[in-house]
């Protein structure tokens, strides 16, 4: 795994018009050959417009969530089947979904399976809170999120795991590369126990939490970090393009 994966999570930002403008600016900034897998995750209502805007680009599209059922009386929800011809990826279990919308590891597991079942690669987010880190339970919290979210799942290159310490998301307080690498090694070790060394080595591990063009290179240089999940800095085309270029040059 030498090519890195850089994912932009736009969260609940951008109108459809703004999403098309943003993705067009990103695509033109990355028009030269870049050795990175680049993924943008706009809000649901902009997915189709972004897909059209990206027609001949190699940039991939991700959704920010999905519901695990395929269709039916689930007002307001979106299924994997609806996303599959538009998205190659879907973010699952982001810390905001866990903390604001009460998603549990059981929900995350259902969503991971639903995504894989429709041919979409889940980007499963895990990460401890500040309180959990301070009380020394970061490793066990993250390990149980990984095990719970991947229960009964065949791991491999189509499952992506993003380590996003909650205290680093949107705070400007990014984890040090040492802290990030130590947790990634722990996650890789957990994946080895789940699916064996070979399968675990193929799972891309992304760091997320206040990533910017100034710090992304340090993360990508770590042995167990294969990419980044970028929130705030992905809303500015210039910063996101710069992040991708720095990351591609270090991987
Ligand atoms: P941030 O968000 O880059 O703004 O910290 C990361 C994320 O929530 O995925």
4-13 pLDDT tens trace? 999 999 999 9
Which residue's alpha carbon is at the smallest distance from atom 3 of ligand 1?
231
Q: How many domains does the chain have?
A: 1
Examine the pLDDT at 1 and tell me if it is beyond 60.
no
> Given this model, what pLDDT does residue 251 score?
81
> Given this model, what pLDDT does residue 89 score?
98
C-alpha of residue 73 to centroid of ligand 1, in Å = 32
Where residue 100 sits, what CATH number does that domain have? 3.20.20.70
Structural domain of 97: 4-250
- Binding site membership of 209 for ligand 1 (Cβ less than 6 Å): yes
Q: How confident is the model at residue 174 (pLDDT cuts 50, 70, 90)?
A: very high
CA distance linking residue 217 with residue 139, whole number of Å: 24
C-alpha of residue 174 to centroid of ligand 1, in Å = 10
Of ligand 1's listed atoms, the one at least distance from the Cα of 233 is 3
């Amino acid at each position: 795994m030498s090519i890195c994966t850089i994912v932009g999570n736009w969260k609940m930002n951008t109108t459809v018009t703004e999403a098309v403008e943003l993705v067009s600016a990103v695509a033109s900034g990355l028009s030269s050959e870049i050795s990175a897998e680049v993924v943008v995750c706009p809000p649901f209502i902009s997915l189709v417009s972004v897909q059209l805007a990206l027609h001949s680009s190699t940039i991939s599209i991700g959704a920010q969530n999905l519901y695990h059922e395929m269709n039916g009386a689930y007002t307001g929800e979106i299924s994997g089947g609806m996303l599959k011809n538009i998205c190659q990826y879907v973010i699952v279990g982001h810390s905001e979904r866990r903390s604001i919308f009460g998603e549990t590891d059981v929900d995350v597991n259902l969503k991971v399976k639903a995504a894989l079942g429709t041919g979409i690669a889940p980007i499963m987010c895990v990460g401890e809170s500040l309180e959990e880190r301070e009380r020394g339970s970061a490793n066990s919290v993250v390990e149980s999120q990984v095990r719970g979210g991947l229960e009964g799942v065949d791991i491999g290159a189509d499952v992506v795991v993003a380590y996003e310490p909650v205290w680093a998301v949107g705070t400007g307080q990014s984890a040090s590369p040492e802290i990030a690498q130590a947790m990634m090694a722990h996650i890789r070790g957990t994946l080895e126990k789940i699916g064996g060394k070979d399968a675990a080595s193929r799972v891309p591990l992304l760091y997320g939490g206040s990533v910017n063009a100034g710090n992304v290179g340090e993360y990508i240089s770590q042995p167990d970090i294969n990419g980044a999940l970028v929130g705030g800095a992905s809303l500015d085309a210039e910063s996101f393009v710069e992040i991708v270029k720095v990351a591609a040059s270090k991987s």
